[in-house]
Amino acid sequence: MKLTIDQPFDLSSSLESGQSHRWVKSDSWYIGVVLGNLVKIRQIEDKIEWHSAPSSEEDILPLLKDYFRLDDDLNKIYEEITQDDRVSEMVAKFPGLRLLRQDPWECTIAFICSANSNIPRIHRVIENLSNTFGTQLELDGHIRHSFPSPQELVVAGEQKLRELGLGFRAPYVDKATQLVNANQLDLQSLIQMPYELAKKCLMECPGIGPKIADCILVFSLEKMEAFPIDVWVRRALGDWYFPNQKTPSNQILQSWAQNYFGSYGGYAQQYLFHGRRLQK
């Protein structure tokens, strides 16, 4: 099935910019798992083409529109964030890079696993969790597994999580899973909360600090003003906005960035992150 996109959209930049950890490229196709569906997708000019299982191509269309945030008016967002010259430069390099609207549960666990790690390792850990506790999916000869639900993952326990490569992150993932299962951490309810309150709730969970909380907020909980600061964003801000001086603390940088970039700071951050990481 094919869909014509009438706004800026770049599938490759969106899937390869460190937001999601379930996508693998095979020739011109990207193969990944979205909410229990194995999806094979590619872009040809202004069209995307996909296959899916177990849901049909027609049934999964609303999910894909939601996942790729096709309801975002990216041109309007560009009008705001490209008032900054550096972000404007990154938008010109990667036009159509979109934030992804991910499942809050999977996003939370993925970014807890991201602590002091790198993108390839995070990919491996998420695949290990899925292969061990998820449901097998098959499409065109490709076999993957769904990301385990809280109920499926809660049986793992800290030791098994360590065996799957989570290391010091294992107790944090185990605790977050227990909190979600006990309804002590209601991720969906955070969507309706103001940014600061939602961030405070997330940070009450062991293993979730300011950066991880902001990643969860912007990539799955509709908080476009969230501005995660990792090593690449810190370098981008230091090199491009605070040159020839000691880079301020992350707390100062975040306050400055949210005031400077405004309500679409999450989009600005993603362009800066992607551009600075590819400059390495």
Residue 25 — pLDDT band, cuts 50, 70, 90? very high
Long-range pairs, 23-30, Cβ under 8 A, ≥24: 26/142
Does 8 map to a domain? yes
> Total domain count for the chain?
2
**CATH number of the domain that 8 lies in?**
3.30.310.40
Residue 159 — pLDDT band, cuts 50, 70, 90? very high
Buried b or exposed e, range 182-200, using 16+ CB within 10 angstroms = eeebebeebeeeebeebbe
Mean pLDDT of 142-164: 96
Mean pLDDT of 84-98: 97
Residue 117 — pLDDT band, cuts 50, 70, 90? confident
Judgement on whether residues 109 and 41 belong to the same structural domain of the protein: no
The model carries a pTM of 0.96
31 has a pLDDT exceeding 70: yes
Mean pLDDT of 11-34: 95
pLDDT at position 116 is 87
Judgement on whether residues 110 and 214 belong to the same structural domain of the protein: yes
Q: Which of 183, 203, 220 is the last residue of a domain?
A: 220
Judgement on whether residues 125 and 34 belong to the same structural domain of the protein: no
Does 85 map to a domain? no
- CA–CA distances in Å: residue 113 to residues 68, 92, 109, 197: 23, 32, 6, 23
Judgement on whether residues 143 and 204 belong to the same structural domain of the protein: yes
Q: For the segment 197-229, what is each residue's pLDDT rounded down to a tens digit?
A: 999 999 999 999 999 999 999 999 999 999 999
Does 27 map to a domain? yes
pLDDT at position 149 is 97
Mean pLDDT of 261-267: 96
273 has a pLDDT exceeding 80: yes
Mean pLDDT of 255-260: 94
Judgement on whether residues 199 and 135 belong to the same structural domain of the protein: yes
280 has a pLDDT exceeding 70: no
Mean pLDDT of 59-81: 97
Judgement on whether residues 50 and 129 belong to the same structural domain of the protein: no
Q: Which of 205, 220, 235 is the last residue of a domain?
A: 220
Mean pLDDT of 7-22: 95
Structural domain span for residue 18: 2-73
Mean pLDDT of 233-261: 94
Does 164 map to a domain? yes
262 has a pLDDT exceeding 80: yes
Mean pLDDT of 261-272: 96
% of the chain beyond a pLDDT of 90: 96
- Point out the residues that are catalytic: 211
Does 195 map to a domain? yes
- Residue 142's DSSP bridge partners are 139
Does 84 map to a domain? no
Judgement on whether residues 136 and 43 belong to the same structural domain of the protein: no
- CA–CA distances in Å: residue 62 to residues 3, 50, 279: 11, 13, 35
Does 132 map to a domain? yes
Judgement on whether residues 199 and 129 belong to the same structural domain of the protein: yes
pLDDT at position 256 is 96
84 has a pLDDT exceeding 70: yes
Judgement on whether residues 205 and 114 belong to the same structural domain of the protein: yes
Mean pLDDT of 2-17: 96
Does 251 map to a domain? no
Judgement on whether residues 114 and 210 belong to the same structural domain of the protein: yes
Q: Which of 28, 58, 73 is the last residue of a domain?
A: 73
Judgement on whether residues 44 and 113 belong to the same structural domain of the protein: no
Got the DSSP string for the chain? -EEE--S---HHHHHSSSS-S--EEETTEEEEEETTEEEEEEEETTEEEEEEESS-HHHHHHHHHHHTTTTS-HHHHHHHHTTSHHHHHHHHHSTT-------HHHHHHHHHTTTT--HHHHHHHHHHHHHHHS-EEEETTEEEEPPPPHHHHTTTHHHHHHHTT-GGGHHHHHHHHHHHHTTSS-TGGGGGS-HHHHHHHHHTSTT--HHHHHHHHHHHS--TT-----HHHHHHHHHHHSTTSPPPPHHHHHHHHHHHHGGGHHHHHHHHHHHHHHT-
pLDDT at position 279 is 85
37 has a pLDDT exceeding 90: yes
Residue 237 — pLDDT band, cuts 50, 70, 90? very high
Judgement on whether residues 55 and 122 belong to the same structural domain of the protein: no
